[in-house]
Amino acid sequence: MKRTEAKLRVGVIYGGRSGEHEISLLSAASVLAALDRQRYQVTEVAITHDGAWLVGENLLQAMKEQKYTELHPVALLADPTMRGLYTIKPGATGAMLELLAELDVVFPVLHGTFGEDGTIQGLFEMADLAYVGAGVLGSSLGMDKGVFKDVMRANQIPVLDYLILLRKEIENELEQVIERAQALAPYPLFVKPANLGSSVGVSKCKNRSDLVEGLLEAARYDRRILVERGVNGREIEVSVLGNDDPIASIPGEIMPAAEFYSYDAKYHDDRTQLLIPAPLPPETVELARSLAVRAYKAIDCAGMARADFLLDRATGDLYLNELNTIPGFTQISMYPKLWMASGMTYAQLVDRLIELALERKRERDRTERRYSRS
């Protein structure tokens, strides 16, 4: 860290307009606890379910309890000449902006839509801010499960057979949609919102009735719905860290309490187990790590991502399921736990992610924004 004369000014943003809002609050609590206040001047910003940006005392607890009356609205402007967070105050002629805090780097702890999909990353780019994690392209490609699989296929990275459907098709052409889905592969089929994580809206469908229910459930959360061939698979995860030269952790394995790693199995069932390291033969370990780094580079990811694989119990084939560009970040989440098992503490991981954000910003600043003839 080169900034020694003063603390680095870090903005931590959490909450968000997403079905993963509550998971974001859990992740943020761990990140905030890990940030060394001797090194960092931390400003917290919370985004409500409705999209309001707020600051205030005991902000995280207020968000958990949805008690917003003592909090104050703030704005992050896209104008890079007005860098920082501004409070919004009533004035004689309308709302007035007042600088609350200047920022050197932003740590978005936002899962799902409007946080992990490239939208807020675009705001950070417009504001000319350093920020932790993938850029606009990497975030958006990692978020949309259908487009992500298209890119993986183009790079010869194995993925399960899949089909993308639109909400309008499900609402207006349900019988045709069912026929197309059933033609993809035998049951079971998995149905997922294309642009969401934490297993929100995901269904394992064993028959036609399950399929109809799963399609309608997924359509609640996205206009694009993924139908995917199911396998009797082991759930293997690898953490990736870095910018242009990323490294992969040792793999871990999820032993879900339910039939698959559902939302409840992830966050509400103590019977779910994480096996670190995953009990795998050496060649499978190296394959998983290699594919994770290849996928990371293929979408121009940065900072961090967790690569999720399915290992077919019957054939031994390994399939990449997704790259999660802002993975769960609690102390017990797989992403940090894999790095802990690889020799990096949670606090060191947070420090490294901030360093990578500043490194990426320095590289971005080398790009000329004005054309001049030589």
Residues 337, 200, single domain; the answer is: no
246 domain residue, yes or no: yes
Residues 244, 353, single domain; the answer is: yes
For residues 342-357, average pLDDT:
96
Chain segment 134-160, per-residue pLDDT in tens = 999 999 999 999 999 999 999 999 999
Residue 255 bridge partners (DSSP)? 273
Q: Report strand pairing: 303-312 vs 318-324.
A: antiparallel
Helices (H), 220-333: 263-267, 282-298
Residues 149, 272, single domain; the answer is: yes
Residue 79 has a pLDDT of 95
Residues 210, 306, single domain; the answer is: no
Average pLDDT score over the chain: 93
2 domain residue, yes or no: no
Cα(first)–Cα(last) distance of the chain, in Å?
36
Residues 40, 14, single domain; the answer is: yes
List the one residue out of 240, 340, 221 whose CA is nearest residue 290: 240
Residue 262 has a pLDDT of 46
The amino acid present at 361, given as its one-letter code, is K
Residues 181, 309, single domain; the answer is: no
Euclidean distance between CA atoms 331 and 90, whole angstroms: 40
Residue 76 is encoded by which pair of tokens?
Answer: 């992050």
Cis peptide before 158 (omega within 30 of 0): no
User: Using alpha carbons only, how large is the chain's radius of gyration in Å?
Assistant: 21
State how many domains the chain has: 3
Euclidean distance between CA atoms 193 and 200, whole angstroms: 8
State yes or no: pLDDT of 1 exceeds 50: no
Q: Report strand pairing: 105-109 vs 130-131.
A: parallel
Chain segment 8-53, per-residue pLDDT in tens = 999 999 999 988 899 999 999 999 999 999 999 999 999 999 999 9
CATH number, domain of 292, equals 3.30.470.20
State yes or no: pLDDT of 167 exceeds 60: yes
367 domain residue, yes or no: no
Chain segment 96-114, per-residue pLDDT in tens = 999 999 999 999 999 988 9
Confidence at 93, pLDDT banded by 50, 70, 90: confident
The amino acid present at 109, given as its one-letter code, is V
Residue 197 has a pLDDT of 67
Residues 279, 198, single domain; the answer is: no
CB-count exposure of residue 7 (10 Å: 0-12, 13-18, 19+): middle
Domain that holds residue 185: 162-229
Residues 113, 186, single domain; the answer is: no
For residues 265-270, average pLDDT:
54
| φ, ψ dihedrals at 324, nearest 5° | -100, 110
195 and 117 Cβ atoms separated by less than 8 Å: yes
Residues 55, 29, single domain; the answer is: yes
Residues 249, 315, single domain; the answer is: yes
185 domain residue, yes or no: yes
